[in-house]
């Protein structure tokens, strides 16, 4: 990353960190962590957290760990661990040798739990999950003490060890913290922090049949690793008193937890549970479906790490929840690709043109600019021949007044090539236009007429003889509704899925310079948008994903707001 990318605007998180440094808290040390649960693929919301945690560590000459909070073996898989590691590296961040797992600390977490029992701060409870809910109370009514709350320390230690040794059935016993059943914060009402769960763990196998709950393992793992600043989203704000309670009772290193607003983005859902539902119920084609705002899906669609980091910088870090317009994300990738993506010509819905006065068997190699934003990108040769293709939308037989592209008797410019004039329209048996016959002016090579005459349109094209066939996948928003995940909406979020979120175009034609383009390569298809080579591409057939259109809606939105 460039030096400028680290110069993020000041935000309240950095202000707190700077105050801690000023007061020499923890010897002015800054040590953060990105702590994903390996129960799904990362999405754009996680990218915000990744950029924040690694970013502030870098800015204040600190360290950032990658730690997998793997405390629920029924939902966690090695596949998710691998994908998370790949995504964080792809975004441009390096945790060096600091890859940790909550499962690294299972023995220590168990010993700390025994310490809490001995201190009279934890007890083994026999209530079922349903009974526990009844005892818990409500937001308006206090809870009731468990009838097992006053077991002796000796009995609790014996029962907890027997839980660990597998003597009890799943769900029959739990270990609960002994705090306050009348607390206004329900999280403090004697929460469960160990449960019996016979399930093979992706790292520890069947070594354990009891597992710590997230709220316990997370804060203690932070403490074990010496994390100075625990940056997390606002939903954990009500959990902070519980975290502090565990650390206070254990008398261990205290992490400074700071909560920030999670990312909400229009026309999308960012709940791993809901994303998993879309995958498992085949509404999308896997976690890396380019319509998903998973990092792997965005990578496959053609997003760049720099564009995602820039987007995260633009949205900033706030304390209040808000929703970011998808247009800002699209603006960020469009801005990046405009500078870096080579320009090529392609035709998505081909209409054949025969240039009647062009010599049979002749080919002209024309000079084309690779990227007008980057003079150093140079030029390439594009072959021109007697039969070419243009976009079907670039011709109208009976055009309206403001249609300036090709029509019968009209002259237009072909990009980098010649002026052509439509002289005849050929139709098939259904009355559909099947091909056009045109003439060209050989004096206009390169796109300018010696006599100074002007045309009102320039069209892109490809040569029939030299172009390559391709499949192109056109993506739109996955959801039609801007806020499909609105908690006030009683409708199922899947009812707002956009039936036109994917359109597959076969028989597209691309210029020959794209032969052998590697998956992940990004290009601007002139006049059409930015496209990336999909992983489904093969030597026999190129497959492209549309990353984003050329049209920029973000600037229009901002302009309208100022008016």
> Per-residue pLDDT tens for 131-189?
999 999 999 999 999 999 999 999 999 999 999 999 999 999 999 999 999 999 999 99
3-state helix, strand, coil in the chain (%, to 5): 35, 25, 45
What's residue 288's pLDDT?
A: 98
| Structure tokens that stand for 114 in this block | 């025994």
Q: Is 295 left (phi over 0), alpha (psi -120 to 50) or beta?
A: alpha
**Which residues of the chain does CATH 2.40.240.10 include?**
272-342+470-562, 346-460
| Structure tokens that stand for 46 in this block | 């996680």
Which alpha helices (DSSP H) does 169-294 contain, by range?
214-224, 240-250, 272-280
CA neighbours closer than 13 Å in the CB half-sphere of residue 186 = 11
What's residue 488's pLDDT?
A: 84
What's residue 3's pLDDT?
A: 41
Place of tokens 């004039």: 421
What's residue 112's pLDDT?
A: 98
| C-alpha 371, offset from chain centre | 27
**Angle (CA) 461 466 467, round 5°:** 55
CATH number 3.40.50.620 is the correct assignment for the domain at 4-260: yes
| Structure tokens that stand for 297 in this block | 């899906």
| Structure tokens that stand for 500 in this block | 């036109």
The list of the chain residues with pLDDT below 70 reads 1-9, 553-563
Given a contact cutoff of 8 angstroms between Cβ atoms, the answer to whether 468 and 509 are in contact is: yes
Class of CATH domain 346-460: mainly beta
What's residue 10's pLDDT?
A: 78
Instruction: Print the SS3 string covering 133-149.
Output: HHHHCCCCCCCCCCCCC
Put the strands of the sheet holding 31-34 in their side by side order: 31-34, 63-68, 99-101
CA nearest 440: which of 384, 396, 394? Answer: 384
Calpha distance 451→443 (Å, rounded):
9
CA nearest 436: which of 426, 444, 446? Answer: 426
Residue 162 burial (CB count, 10 A): 13
Class of CATH domain 272-342+470-562: mainly beta
Place of tokens 């801005």: 335
Given a contact cutoff of 8 angstroms between Cβ atoms, the answer to whether 243 and 219 are in contact is: yes
pLDDT, tens only, 525-537: 999 999 999 999 9
Strands 174-177 and 122-125: antiparallel
334 sits in which H/E element: helix 326-340
Taking each helix axis from N to C end, the angle separating 326-340 and 553-562, rounded to the nearest 10 degrees, works out to: 130
**Which residues of the chain does CATH 3.40.50.620 include?**
4-260
Strands 31-34 and 63-68: parallel
Measure CA of the first residue to CA of the last residue in the chain; give whole Å: 36
547 sits in which H/E element: strand 542-548
Q: Which residues are catalytic?
A: 37, 262, 272
Place of tokens 């949205």: 315
In 356-432, the DSSP E strands lie at 364-369, 379-384, 387-391, 411-414, 419-427
Q: Which residues pair with 424 in a beta bridge?
A: 437
What's residue 487's pLDDT?
A: 81
Cα dihedral 407, 413, 419, 423 in deg (nearest 10)? -10
Calpha distance 353→536 (Å, rounded):
30
What's residue 2's pLDDT?
A: 40
What's residue 126's pLDDT?
A: 98
What's residue 511's pLDDT?
A: 97
What's residue 1's pLDDT?
A: 42
């Amino acid at each position: 990353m460039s030096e400028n990318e680290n110069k993020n605007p000041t935000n309240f998180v950095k202000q707190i960190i700077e105050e801690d440094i000023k007061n020499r808290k923890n010897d002015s040390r800054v040590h953060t962590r990105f702590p994903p649960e390996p129960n799904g693929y990362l999405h754009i919301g996680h990218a915000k957290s990744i950029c924040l945690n690694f970013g502030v560590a870098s800015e204040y000459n600190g360290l950032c760990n990658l730690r997998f909070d793997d405390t629920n073996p029924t939902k966690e898989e090695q596949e998710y661990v691998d994908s998370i590691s790949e995504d964080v590296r792809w975004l441009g961040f390096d945790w060096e040798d600091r890859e940790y797992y909550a499962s690294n600390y299972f023995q220590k977490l168990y010993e700390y739990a025994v310490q809490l029992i001995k201190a009279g701060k934890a007890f083994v409870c026999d209530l079922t999950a349903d009974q526990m809910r009844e005892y818990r109370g409500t937001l308006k009514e206090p809870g009731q003490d468990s009838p097992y709350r006053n077991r002796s320390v000796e009995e609790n230690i014996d029962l907890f060890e027997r839980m660990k040794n597998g003597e009890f059935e799943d769900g029959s016993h739990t270990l609960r913290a002994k705090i306050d059943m009348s607390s206004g914060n329900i999280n403090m009402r004697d929460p469960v922090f160990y449960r019996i769960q016979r399930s093979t763990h992706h790292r520890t196998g069947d070594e354990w049949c009891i597992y710590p709950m997230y709220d316990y393992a997370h804060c203690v793992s932070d403490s074990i690793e010496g994390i100075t600043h625990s940056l997390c989203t606002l939903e954990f704000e009500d959990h902070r008193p519980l975290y502090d309670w565990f650390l206070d009772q254990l008398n261990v290193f205290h992490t400074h937890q700071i909560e920030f607003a999670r990312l909400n983005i229009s026309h999308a859902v960012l709940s791993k549970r809901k994303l998993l539902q879309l995958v498992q119920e085949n509404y999308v084609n896997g976690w890396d479906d380019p319509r998903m705002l998973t990092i792997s899906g965005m990578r496959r669609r053609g997003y760049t790490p720099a564009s995602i980091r820039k987007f995260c910088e633009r949205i900033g870090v706030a304390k209040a929840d808000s929703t970011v317009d998808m247009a800002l994300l699209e603006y960020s990738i469009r801005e990046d690709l405009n500078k870096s993506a080579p320009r090529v010509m392609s035709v998505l819905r081909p209409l054949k043109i025969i240039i009647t006065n062009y010599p049979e068997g002749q080919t002209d190699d024309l000079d084309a600019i690779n990227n007008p934003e980057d003079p150093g990108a140079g030029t390439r040769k594009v072959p021109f021949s007697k039969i070419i293709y243009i976009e079907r939308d670039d011709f109208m037989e009976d055009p309206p007044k403001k249609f300036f592209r090709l029509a019968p008797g009209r002259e237009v410019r072909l990009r980098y090539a010649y002026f052509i004039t439509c002289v005849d329209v050929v139709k098939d048996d259904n009355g559909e236009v099947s091909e056009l016959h045109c003439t060209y002016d050989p004096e206009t090579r390169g796109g300018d007429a010696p006599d100074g005459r002007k045309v009102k349109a320039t069209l892109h094209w490809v040569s029939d003889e030299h172009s390559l066939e391709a499949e192109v996948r056109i993506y739109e928003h996955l959801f039609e509704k801007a806020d499909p995940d609105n908690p006030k909406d009683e409708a199922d979020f899947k009812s707002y899925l956009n039936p036109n979120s994917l359109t597959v175009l076969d028989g597209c034609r691309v210029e020959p310079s794209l032969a052998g383009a590697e998956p992940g390569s990004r290009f601007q298809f002139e006049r059409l948008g930015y496209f990336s080579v999909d992983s489904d591409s093969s030597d026999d057939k190129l497959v492209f994903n549309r990353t984003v259109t050329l049209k920029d809606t973000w600037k229009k939105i901002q302009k309208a707001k100022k008016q």
